[in-house]
Amino acid sequence: MNLTNLRKDFPILNEKVNNKPLVYLDNAATTQKPLCVIEAMSNYYLHLNSNVHRGVHTLSQQATTEFEHVRKSVQTFLNSKEQEEIIFTRGTTESINLVASSFSEAFIKEGDEIIVSELEHHSNIVPWQIIAQRKKAILRVIPFNDNGELDLNVYKTLLNEKTKIVSVAHVSNALGTVNPIKEIITLAHNKNIPVLIDGAQGVPHYKIDVQDLDCDFYCFSGHKLYAPMGVGIVYGKRKFLEAMPPYHGGGEMIKEVRFSGTTFNEIPYKFEAGTPSVADVLGLKAAIDYVNSIGFETIQKHEDELMQYTTKKLLEVGDITIYGNAKQKAGSLSFNLNGVHPFDVGTLLDQLGIAIRTGHHCAQPVMQHYDIVGTARVSFAIYTTKEEIDYFIESLKRVKQILL
Ligand code: PMP
């Protein structure tokens, strides 16, 4: 992979921040967008803008055709059996809320149990807490050890005939842990329990094959995969989607509306009420094409090298605690300079042009596990270079001199 050429695809990487060249290490929060994605969106507004699915006029039909091409493209990207199993949402958060809300209406009753894990993003905790409260169901939690790895022995004991769904992250945004999702899915399926995978941090780093994983739902956000904000995906197995009631009511999700009663559309439209964010959806296709043109083998190799290199260099700085030492990690590396608040580290690095994330990363239970207020987190993308990591490490040494 020629990184110099690849970086030219991302105009924002030439920006200066605080008079220093931008070093963007906050990719787990959102990735930068290549020009092809920006052009796909502007092309829509320049040449194609019209509402989808409803018009007989040419522009609307063209927009609809392009929009539905993206569904096909996501189907191929995730290797789902059918394109009707692909639902457009605004992002992972909406995707998980959709499943939690609709699945629970069909399948969860008082006394039932839902399993999540201790290392989830709030987006994969709070929707289930709301459902548990609404349905008088019980939320069970798979704990993780100090390395940031889920305790599968406890998980096995949590699975029982009352368990109605398991919902876990593919990759932790706070610790970088890659969870053994295939094993988690198999163990649940042995008891006929469906599994949702929060793929927000999985999709940017790994080739996903939902048929091979055999997960029942897989959710992700476009914006962490070089696509625009405002578009996300629910993959769901047909048998579940058909049995689940609609999430939102409105246009497009109906067959016929009468005051005596409304009938609902087929999947996936049953779950797609209202005007979608068409330009963002088209941007998602451009991002998928872009990522495919690089290839996941190349992406993974590059990011694994960065993870190992950064971990080694960070520890050499001294007075550093790394949170999460799982055997398999991807994307994110969380640490603290001992005795220093992560905000101070982040603020000083920002003065040097380096964008990292500090805080609880919307995973407060992870912070509670380690009894800390937060961490500093660096996260990688395909355009991250070793030179940027070297600059980050040198800058961190300066920060350490100032603060310790
Ligand atoms: N799950 C995980 C693991 C995440 O990292 C994030 C985003 N930080 C989300 C869910 C929520 O994604 P979004 O804000 O795009 O809906």
In this model, does residue 195 exceed pLDDT 90?
Answer: yes
What is the average pLDDT across 175-186? Answer: 98
CA of 123 to the centre of ligand 1 (A): 6
CA of 279 to the centre of ligand 1 (A): 21
Q: Atom of ligand 1 at shortest distance to CA of 90?
A: 16
CA of 70 to the centre of ligand 1 (A): 21
pLDDT of residue 349: 98
pLDDT of residue 1: 77
Q: Atom of ligand 1 at shortest distance to CA of 94?
A: 16
Distance between CA atoms of residues 227 and 243, nearest Å: 31
CB-based burial, 168-185: b 16+ in 10 Å, e otherwise? bbbbbbbbbbbbbbeebb
pLDDT of residue 350: 98
In this model, does residue 55 exceed pLDDT 90?
Answer: no
pLDDT of residue 265: 95
pLDDT of residue 74: 98
Q: Which two tokens stand for residue 231?
A: 């578009």
Quick one: which of 275, 351, 372 has its CA closest to 67? 275
What is the best residue among 150, 226, 362 to mutate for testing ligand 1's pocket, by most ligand atoms within 8 Å of CB? 362
Pocket of ligand 1 (CB under 6 A): 91-93, 121, 123-124, 169, 173, 198, 200-201, 221, 223, 362
In angstroms, what CA-CA distances link 169 with 59, 121, 172, 240, 253? 40, 8, 6, 20, 29
Catalytic residue numbers, as ranges: 362
Q: How confident is the model at residue 380 (pLDDT cuts 50, 70, 90)?
A: very high
In this model, does residue 108 exceed pLDDT 80?
Answer: yes
What is the average pLDDT across 196-212? Answer: 98
CA of 231 to the centre of ligand 1 (A): 12
Instruction: Write down the mean pLDDT value for the chain.
Output: 97
In this model, does residue 206 exceed pLDDT 90?
Answer: yes
Of the listed ranges 1-10, 130-139, 162-171, the one predicted with least confidence: 1-10
Type of residue at 152: L
CA of 102 to the centre of ligand 1 (A): 20
Q: Is the peptide bond before 228 cis (omega within 30 degrees of 0)?
A: no
pLDDT higher for 55 or 81? 81
What is the best residue among 119, 123, 179, 181 to mutate for testing ligand 1's pocket, by most ligand atoms within 8 Å of CB? 123
pLDDT of residue 387: 97
In this model, does residue 54 exceed pLDDT 90?
Answer: no
Query: Which residue's structure tokens are 């990690």?
Result: 329
pLDDT of residue 374: 98
What is the spatial order of strands in the sheet that 163-169 belongs to?
A: 86-89, 232-236, 217-221, 195-198, 163-169, 113-117, 138-142
Quickly count: other Cβ atoms within 10 Å of residue 38's Cβ: 16
**Chain centroid offset of residue 154 CA:** 25
What is the best residue among 125, 201, 226, 366 to mutate for testing ligand 1's pocket, by most ligand atoms within 8 Å of CB? 201
pLDDT of residue 162: 98
What is the average pLDDT across 73-77? Answer: 98
Domains of the chain: 3-30+296-403 (3.90.1150.10), 38-292 (3.40.640.10)
What is the average pLDDT across 102-107? Answer: 98
Quick one: which of 208, 207, 202 has its CA closest to 224? 202
